[in-house]
Structure 1
């Protein structure tokens, strides 16, 4: 009786269900509980071979998500019941898994028995009713009969619902067809008028063409505007496709049968949003978005086609500008040009590019956690400036750019230029930051270089005190310490200046920094000094000292234990002259020197070299002025020396003539006076010729007249001319005679060379013998003049061939100081060389070597040199 009551209740509920969905809800809500099931589900055959879950109760739908759609051939109880049309009874979980292993993926936490009943009507399976029970159980025959009875009732209700739904659908279709037919008749007269009214009011251009010839029957006002004029009545398809030139976005022209309206008319194609460019008669182009579709009659035949045209020229331009702007902004965000960050009103940074995160020293994890805030990035002393910028931002929507220091994640600070603007649409603030570290460092370097230049320019002499001042400036502005080493005239290095920001370490630095000798070989310092290329040690540790100068052992260490510095060594050079080295070291906490700092170091070296070169030129100019003054005094004295006896000779001759009272003067007396005058005139002419030769040499021109000359004969003639001077000096000349020495030389210039060497020997020979030797040696002519006089000190040998130079005082020996200089220039012009060997107190030997032919390539090169 209880089961009959349940069945009656289920049947009553099913009779009230009119649709398949309602039937399914009644089945799972009533049939399952009526049979004592804990859960119930309905699978319906919605397409051939497939079961789909439509209703369930007692199990969360999410748990059955993988089982919502089942194939009939699947090894599952539900599929088997539908496939064979017979109920499937499973009494326990073990039996289920043994029979259907695929069920292991289904959540089966509380079910212990199952039944799958096919919903079958007249041999057709409409679906499957699945029941799940909480405990293991056996199914008695009466239980199975009752379940089958319920399932048949459910199947019949489901079939009835399907039939009712189909009937209702057909009835509704018929009703709609009748209504449509009546409406069609009622609206037929108004259709054309209403369509025109609607089309005229549409914001898009509308064109209507009828089949089959494509004649245009209507175009609204927007179509006239887009067309650029009135549309001719009865315009045919061929006429309007040829009157306008259309192009695809890639530039291909539209063929007559490719126009969207033509395709809709001839092929029944529906065109949605096709973009085309149209060429106006004036040559300009505009872009259209075209939608077109066919108008069909009741039989589906295309009777007309309509096209909607929208001028999107401006929209495409704006979209292109927007895309370009977005691309530019995206490139800026992705690049390292500047740091960009979006933040909310509370100062929480929501989004930032890698350049910003790298600048502030924080990771993207902090950004994603939402813990990165402006309040933590701005130091206390910078908050007032930041608040002023915020007030500008809130009042004007944008804050002007201003400089600020930001705190990095490691506690260090970085100077930046920042500014903000509100993004009102997103209620966010966009802030940019530019790293000013390089700019500040460059400004500091410029200030340092300007100050150093001012210090170097305060005096014409680059003294050690001036260099020390520059080194001190460097140690407190651009480096931790500075060392300046200069090349000495003897070829070594001397320490000119040392400065350290820690004064207690300055003496240790002076002693410990390597200073190699220029005569050594190898080592980075010497290589830099000779090559002119700077050195940069970005990781300079205590063991690097030994690498800098092989063999140098520092007296004490400058670097503390574990201290790391960066060191750059820059050579001081001027016009290929090596002047010295300047060394700059940077230790923590100062930033290490990098490749960008080499320019500053080289500029400092350039200014130091310029100051040193200017100081050298100043000293040389002072020395040149002294030499000029001395030369003028000596020249005045030397020119007066022959003039005084000449004047005395002429005065004596005049007195003799006046004293004779008109009587003839003895010829012997006149000849004696004339000889004295000639001697003095000859001396005066020699002095003037020397001055003229120096002037010619200074202008780079010393004309030579080459001819065949016997050097031995020239020496003999000059000795004969200077015999009187040799007698006055008390020097006896010994000439070693040999074979003739004949070559292509300038005879007068060769006489000048021999004269200058012999005159020099007479002057400094101290009355002792002079030895002259002429001969051939190594294929060239060789002339040597040796005296046994006072000799030349070693420090003077390098300058005796200079203009106005002497190794002794002009007060004791006189002369213009030009003889040896002119001699050297003549010998060089002839392609030869002159050497001197001397020892103080034991005399000097001057040796001249000349090529046999002064016109060879070497001599020509010397003559052509400016």
Structure 2
């Protein structure tokens, strides 16, 4: 009923398909060749499996129908179901239902092959080969799960190819593998097909033996409908009362049981999906059908055995107490429990008061129990838990008929317990997701790939300015909310979702309802089997504002750094400007003198005035270089001669070098290729490196203060090195040298080298520092030549920082 709600319609259809398959196998449908009964119409149900249903819902039903019709011998219907399932297989690409499709389609084709037309046989030969190869690949990777299926399909192909010796061996391989790994239904099917093979070859006695084994397996599987079909086709099976096989745990036949009571009990157990109610139902039914006075349900939680429930009866009512406690010798005979867990077989003591293998158990001695039964709860080959029952009043309480009922019910109980666990996990996950959605910490929106918005939480609606009415109307579509320049990014994300089921988080913008834009970070995952998915949307508005504020602060800091640097050069700049001004005054006086002569010496005056013009231009150049460094300008990339940039900076700092008694040598390589860069940024960086070197050598008194600025080329880069003879670098802090705000200067801000590295990286280059030999440090930066593009992925952040540095 829960699954039939508006949110889980597809899940309800899947559950119904499974229930109808089980009902068919148990013989509770109108015939063994239909899912229909008095309360269910197969054709009506299949009419609802339209294209707007989840592909998973539809393919699950058709594969179950393929399986059921093959087992009933309705091969034409099985083939039709396989054809309907085939185009939908991507929905079960990672599920075991895909195995059932390959397995039962191959077996159905093999069953029909000999009576088919030549065209069908030609087509089916390719199909059988392809399906066998797929099963072989799976079997090589996981033999316990797939080996018996591969062996049985291979046996059928050998039968068709008249390779009888191979077929006999492969049928036995399939039977053995299925038995060893707990696939009792597949063991029964392998016996049945082997019987059909031997009968076709005239070995009636051998065929009958295989049929008896097939019936025994189907009985243990609980497939009473399949057993009745076998007995109708082979009446001699009704006369057989073969003893149970070594792995059987009951001795009563289906005919000895109250089928109606068993079916009712099984339905009651399978109908519960809430764990507590399932446990109460299971324990009540177990005590009522077994004649027990007391019972314990013990389940495996990881590697720990826990008593989940205790039931007791006063012969009128059954009282079930839910609990979770560890197993102790005071609760039950531990030796019996451990035997059941180890062997995966039931243990029954008709009279525990008589001598038996467990007589020494402390519980049996103290409680004086009479009838004891402990059953394993198995789901395929997996132990889920155990059911312990006892009656302290009478011996021989657990008769073969009661034991048969309990074994049938225990199989259903194991399945239901596992299903309730899965359902509980699903509820917990759904609750966590719902809390995440309702917490509105982040925007969450469910969409399809075509643009529809199916559901969204309040955070997403508030972020985009829409409301619930807009959402319900279907007027908002994520494709229309996406600006044109972001469409390619969104479509690439959709392609990733289709291919991989998820996409890498990406930035984009949405149009808000009022036409404004909101920057967002989007991550998404697709729903399996559907062209729909869920997206997690983070509003980046505040982050963008913070980034802009940070960029503005960085720009101001870079500007301050340049102004501070120029301030430190005040004396040198004054010297640079004073020289041409003094020369201008001298030449002006000389010019006046030559003009005052009699007669005036015009040639000398002309030369004096030429020198005035030269010195004026020289002063203007100095002032221009200072202005370009100090004022805020947007970055401008242009082809540059790096040597010329070095010489411009060298000319600017001549006075500073003389004042600090530093000898400058330039070792500039000739004919270097041009670099693409911003002249002001590169000047700022080189100036900073040279001034750092000058300051580092200020305390050197025992050797010359030598500064070498060199350039050169390597591969497709040009490089510039600044070498000094100062005290060198502290090796312990070398890794922090370019960190913001790290400085070794008493009055330093720690931004110069950080900004310098940002400038270099924005130009696609690298800045490194090493020790000079024998004294000092070397700062070397490389820049790509003008013909090589800068990688945007590696330098975009630095590009922004360096752009700020120019403002």
Could you state the TM-score of these two structures normalised by the residue count of structure 1? Answer: 0.26
User: Comparing both structures, which one devotes a greater share of its residues to strand?
Assistant: 1
Please report the TM-score for the alignment, with normalisation by the length of structure 2: 0.28
Higher relative contact order structure (alpha carbons within 8 Å, sequence separation ≥ 6):
2
Point out the structure with max Rg over C-alpha. 1
